[in-house]
Amino acid sequence: MAQKILVVDDDLNISDLLRMYLEKSGYEVVIANDGRQALECFAQHSPDLVLLDVMLPKLDGWQVCREIRQNSDTPIIMLTAKGEAFDKVFGFDLGADDYVVKPFDAKELVARVKAVLRRKYPQNTETEKIVKYDNLIINLTNYELWIKGSRIDAPPKELELIFHLASNPNKVFTRDQLLNEVWSYDYFGDTRTIDVHVKRLREKLEGVSDEWSLKTVWGVGYKFEVN
């Protein structure tokens, strides 16, 4: 299954932005908006990594980090508007694995998440092929398609096709490209094969989410569109 990230921030805009970028990268995301809720979510969900803001209501990020470290070595990346060296040293002394100062670039933060997870769980991040969106998980490692929490039967090529499209959100692929990249160059069928597989996938994915869709780009091909 997808690795799970606990995002702890009382700014709802930042939480939603991080959820969007992390889910696009294939992670499962849990949100907490104060320190006490963060500890409850940590105990309930056992995340693989915590993105932890320092300035939080009820319990600040320092205390949350301290309490997590009493029983767990789960990676923690601190998020804060404070950039002084003392705050960074204090965070590292408490057991934080990385420290990001606001405002930050979301793509850079996701890259830091991946780097920390690679160091902590090298066997998982290198081998698993999982893409996750709202109500949708495509696991190419185990060849599983999950829709709204239920496993759905799908032939291997359907899974490989939707995985390829969903791994490149909003990118348009021609039918010839999809034949070459999913079926490989030694496939001697015609492009109607793509249309048949897309039709079957649409039957499975219809009405699943309003945050993404499998779109036809007329005269060109197909794309996995993310709103």
pLDDT in tens, 51-87: 999 889 999 988 999 999 888 889 999 888 766 555 6
- Centroid of chain to Cα 34: 22
Residues 138 and 84 in one domain: no
Work out how many domains the chain is built from and give that number. Answer: 2
Residues 44 and 156 in one domain: no
CA pair distance 126, 118, nearest whole angstrom: 8
Angle between helices 35-45 and 61-71 (to 10 degrees): 30
At residue 23, the 3 state secondary structure works out as: helix
pLDDT at 123: 54
Residues 138 and 63 in one domain: no
- 135: number of CA atoms within 13 Å, CB side? 12
Task: Please name the amino acid found at residue 54.
Answer: V
Q: Model-level pTM?
A: 0.55
- Centroid of chain to Cα 63: 27
Residues 121 and 136 in one domain: no
Q: Bigger pLDDT: 186 or 42?
A: 42
- Residue 13: CATH number of its domain: 3.40.50.2300
Average pLDDT, the chain: 85
Return the minimum-mean-pLDDT range out of 92-101, 130-139, 159-168, 187-196. 187-196
The pLDDT of residue 2 is above 80: no
CA pair distance 49, 97, nearest whole angstrom: 10
| Average pLDDT score over residue span 126-145 | 84
Could you tell me the pLDDT band of residue 24, with boundaries at 50, 70 and 90? confident
Sequence-ordered strand ranges (E) for the chain: 4-8, 28-32, 49-53, 76-80, 98-101, 130-133, 136-139, 144-147, 150-152, 173-174, 212-217, 221-226
Listed residues 127, 144, 170: the one ending a domain: 127
pLDDT at 186: 46
pLDDT at 125: 43
- Model confidence over 163-187: pLDDT tens digits? 999 999 999 999 888 888 887 644 4
CA pair distance 91, 50, nearest whole angstrom: 14
pLDDT at 190: 64
Kindly compute the dihedral angle of the four CA atoms of residues 9, 11, 15, 17, in this order, to the nearest 10 degrees.
Answer: -140
Residues 137 and 117 in one domain: no
In this prediction, what percent of the chain has a pLDDT beyond 70? 88
- 58: number of CA atoms within 13 Å, CB side? 13
Q: Bigger pLDDT: 207 or 121?
A: 207
pLDDT at 126: 46
At residue 145, the 3 state secondary structure works out as: strand
Q: What's the domain range around 62?
A: 4-127
- Residue 134: CATH number of its domain: 1.10.10.10
pLDDT at 225: 93
